[in-house]
A and B are shown apart, each in its own frame.
Chain A
């Protein structure tokens, strides 16, 4: 296969068939296409670089895709996680936690003032029970933060970052995991939207 006909990860998630209208449409924006793929690789094809392990990256991705009810994304990241040492147990714990954590967003509070009438209350998630031991403190804290970012990002406060720090996450690592959740929020929506265009 040449570069021109090789599907990228977003194509795979969307189910783009080479040579179809949707394939041509994505190739109308080659710089976007290239950098979406390069972003995926910067987050998921760097091994344990930057202190965030490959298992942690994939565990987070599985949780975020499951929170969105994104079947193709969860399958993609789930397969990769299960290939990691200890990945099967992690995947099982994350599937259980995601089921408990799923809700509807965006909700959250605004800074006190005229927008407070638009405040919408919703659940605050934390990992409970035996899965705490399977996931460990670091990953459990990360999943709680991911839930905040996915469903109620306007509730974010410095205390949420302090909780990550208390669980052992450094500043560069917090940047990386925030990028992972934020990138997936993009990737899942881009895939969903493009899939509808091909219908």
Chain B
């Protein structure tokens, strides 16, 4: 640990929510890429993540990094039945918009656009906030995600009933719960261990 790391001031921190690619800088020292142990590399799961200061910082505790990464990938990528990928990403973006994680919102708004092909609707969530009136299903997904993000938690039977009325089965609703809950995990790490910067 060096004080220089903590004194580093980012010059290009984004001040709006965006779908653009952002960088992220750690406030405390990540494990150096050439100093990663085998156990830490294993914790990264995908070795390409060794390029990321965020994942190399989390590599200080490789066991939880590994299990968290495997849970993350299954919660978002396993679309065997259940909620489509676009709506999982929408939930992640909505949680990030609610907590105020500009970096997480940028990544998952981009993914929501990729899978839904609805760039402008996703942008409205970012620009107008979680109260944006998009369409009944997306509104319900955003509302449920935001209610689950509040502390104390505001997610209630009325959210489940609305989602069921819109045709979501219980597996899809469970997928939504996992996606939104997971971004309450991710946002807290990204917001508290470093900060985003605009790509040059």
A75 at the interface (CB under 8 A from B): no
* B192, A165: Cβ atoms closer than 8 Å: no
Task: Select one of A29, A153, A158 contacting B191, CB under 8 A.
Answer: A153
Please report whether the interface of chain B is mostly helix, strand, loop or mixed according to DSSP. Answer: helix
Task: Select one of A39, A46, A197 contacting B173, CB under 8 A.
Answer: A197
Within the assembled complex, what's the spacing in Å between the Cα atoms of A133 and B193?
A: 28
Nearest Cβ on chain A to B53's Cβ, whole angstroms: 13
Contacts between chains A and B (CB distance < 8 A), count: 190
Task: Select one of B63, B155, B191 contacting A193, CB under 8 A.
Answer: B155
Within the assembled complex, what's the spacing in Å between the Cα atoms of A41 and B70?
A: 14
* A114, B184: Cβ atoms closer than 8 Å: no
Known: A28-B81, A149-B192, A179-B64. A196 touches B178 (CB 8 A): no
Within the assembled complex, what's the spacing in Å between the Cα atoms of A182 and B94?
A: 17
* A186, B100: Cβ atoms closer than 8 Å: no
| A-side interface residues, number (CB < 8 Å) | 65
Nearest Cβ on chain B to A102's Cβ, whole angstroms: 8
List of B residues within 8 angstroms of A196 by Cβ: 155-157, 159-160
Q: Mark A132-174, 1 if CB is under 8 A from B, else 0.
A: 0000000000000000111101101010111001000011101
Nearest Cβ on chain B to A68's Cβ, whole angstroms: 6
* B28, A181: Cβ atoms closer than 8 Å: no
Nearest Cβ on chain B to A190's Cβ, whole angstroms: 4
* B67, A39: Cβ atoms closer than 8 Å: yes
* A175, B61: Cβ atoms closer than 8 Å: yes
B188 at the interface (CB under 8 A from A): yes
Nearest Cβ on chain A to B194's Cβ, whole angstroms: 9
Within the assembled complex, what's the spacing in Å between the Cα atoms of A186 and B186?
A: 9
A3 at the interface (CB under 8 A from B): no
Q: In the complex, which residue of chain A has the Cβ closest to the Cβ of B71?
A: A35
Q: Tell me the residues in window 144-200 of chain B with beta carbons closer than 8 Å to chain A beta carbons.
A: 148-153, 155-157, 159-160, 170-171, 173-175, 177-178, 180-182, 184-189, 191-193
* B67, A161: Cβ atoms closer than 8 Å: no
B58 at the interface (CB under 8 A from A): yes
Q: In the complex, which residue of chain A has the Cβ closest to the Cβ of B30?
A: A171
B60 at the interface (CB under 8 A from A): yes
Within the assembled complex, what's the spacing in Å between the Cα atoms of A69 and B153?
A: 9
Q: Tell me the residues in window 23-70 of chain A with beta carbons closer than 8 Å to chain B beta carbons.
A: 25-26, 28-29, 31-32, 35-36, 38-39, 41-43, 46, 50, 67-69
A113 at the interface (CB under 8 A from B): yes
Known: A160-B192, A171-B29. A190 touches B74 (CB 8 A): no
* A178, B181: Cβ atoms closer than 8 Å: no
List of A residues within 8 angstroms of B14 by Cβ: 111
* B180, A189: Cβ atoms closer than 8 Å: yes
